[in-house]
Structure 1
Amino acid sequence: MSEPPTVYHDNWFDRLFIWIFSRKIAKALGQDSPYPGYEGFVDLSQKIMQGRNAEEQQALVGVVLRSLIPAPVLWTIRTFSRPIPLVCELNAWFATQLFEWLVGPCEVRSVEVTSPTGKTQMQRSGVHIQKCRYLEQSRCVGMCVNMCKVPTQEFFTQDFGIPVTLTPNFEDFSCEMVFGQIPPPLETEQASQQPCLNQCVTASTSIVCPKVHG
């Protein structure tokens, strides 16, 4: 038997962020969702998939993410901030404070980070997501990859100038975020070869989830 879905009791802060993100997505899509709260947020995410390939989905989510922060602020962060250990550790801490409404309970962890020069070091810039709320509710590999993993990596790496790598676990729905770690090409990661989840409403019998690359 499958585990019962996790029950969340969103506070006013959670509901505010859900509303803000939902409004931004609805504006980018040009349509809204009939559902309230987090259910509506996931429904809007599903609408992003309709009629768009993987790159188009990622691009639209990128537009939404950039609309949340004024361009001058992004430029300032990207120009004057560097991905030194302290900055990466602060980003990890902020992620645990700001994104629980999106992904559920998470915690900062010490991780090994490899620099572009090949040097490795330990730093507390990892975020362990215990059971991703978004993945649990959507039950969709393609949504996880194209509307969370890839856009988030690109947003932080390119727009913030702080690289981050997300590694979802499709068995237990946990996820590891590592700030300071440059993300590898998607085609080299396990997520790119992941088959559909059993309870996905649009599941395919293909060996690899067709929505990841479709």
Structure 2
Amino acid sequence: MKALGIAVGGVPMLCSTVRIRNRRFCVSFSSSSGPKTAGVAGTKSGYKPGVFDDLFLNLFRNKLVQEVGWDSKKAGYDGLIEVANRLMMKGTTNSHTIEATVRILRSLFPPFLLELYKMLIAPIGGGKVAAIMVARVTALTCQWLMGPCKVNSVDLPDGTSCSSGVYVERCKYLEESKCVGICINTCKFPTQTFFKDHMGVPLLMEPNFADYSCQFKFGVLPPLSEDGTVLKEPCLEACPIASQRKIAARTIGVTACPKT
């Protein structure tokens, strides 16, 4: 929870094979390298739902519920966040959570559509045409999940620039979940994997845990060292799972986060 359709960070998401194995990871907003309250303070995403937003939300939530086997009693976005949290807790490893999210993203599309896009559209113009297309579709269809966003220009590996970026001003999914683990394992990594493996479009997502913004870079592969860097990101002070961990630590001496 995470492009063309709906992204769990926007539907489509990540890079070839995610190398997060046997590590449980859940983090929250309290990065030691940046302002600890910048993300919590300030105005929440001001996006106003559009005509199709409820349709997108319900479609995505239904697929998420099918994967998890459980649904929240809460309606709307609050319920979606609870189901995403349950998905995090259900997976025995981060890899399992990422794989489950990729399955959800794939299920949002008609059979063969992804294969055709990867085979026919992705190779055009060295991949730039496909990258530009998914950037525009993401900005148009995923604001219900992420909040206000806009297409922008990003630098590509060949030294050129291209309007294949999407800048999310203040990610609603991260802000409402208050958990870096949910952002990373149900949005960033699976979204990157989804686009690269199933649509043929490389994607690098760069969430900012200080101000909740996020930069999508379609046409750019994530660096090989990305996994280790992201996994060092500390929990946010507002993370509900981190709060539960602190209570448990005081009562029964439990200090490990369930997602590390």
Deviations 1:147-204 (A, max 9, x none): 0000000000000011111010000000000010012236456422110011000116
Change (3 A) 1:41 1:93: same
Residue-pair matches, total: 206
2:241 alignment partner, SS class: coil
Which one of 93, 96, 103 corresponds to residue 56 of structure 1? 96
Paired residues of 1:126 and 1:178 also in contact (CA < 8 A): yes
Counterpart mapping for 1:19-168 below 5 A:
19-52=58-91, 53-81=93-121, 82=123, 84-114=127-157, 119-168=158-207
Post-superposition shift, 1:49? 1.2
* 2:7 corresponding residue in structure 1: none
Q: Identity over aligned residues, as a percent?
A: 33
What RMSD over aligned residues (CA atoms) do the two structures have, in Å?
A: 2.0
* 1:180 corresponding residue in structure 2: 219
Paired residues of 1:141 and 1:211 also in contact (CA < 8 A): no
Counterpart Cα distance in 2 of 1:12 and 1:189:
40
Counterpart Cα distance in 2 of 1:211 and 1:132:
24
Counterpart Cα distance in 1 of 2:229 and 2:175:
18
Paired residues of 1:104 and 1:131 also in contact (CA < 8 A): yes
Q: Normalising by the residue count of structure 1, what TM-score does the alignment of the two structures yield?
A: 0.89
Unmatched tracts of structure 2, length 5 or more: 1-36, 247-255
Kindly indicate whether structure 1 or structure 2 has the higher relative contact order, using CA contacts under 8 Å at least 6 residues apart: 2
Structure richer in helix, relative to its length: 1
Change (3 A) 1:13 1:137: same
Change (3 A) 1:30 1:74: same
Q: Normalising by the residue count of structure 2, what TM-score does the alignment of the two structures yield?
A: 0.74
Counterpart Cα distance in 1 of 2:113 and 2:49:
29
Counterpart Cα distance in 1 of 2:206 and 2:58:
27
The one-letter amino acid paired with 2:119 is T
Post-superposition shift, 1:78? 1.2
Unmatched tracts of structure 1, length 5 or more: none
Change (3 A) 1:104 1:111: same
Counterpart Cα distance in 2 of 1:25 and 1:32:
9
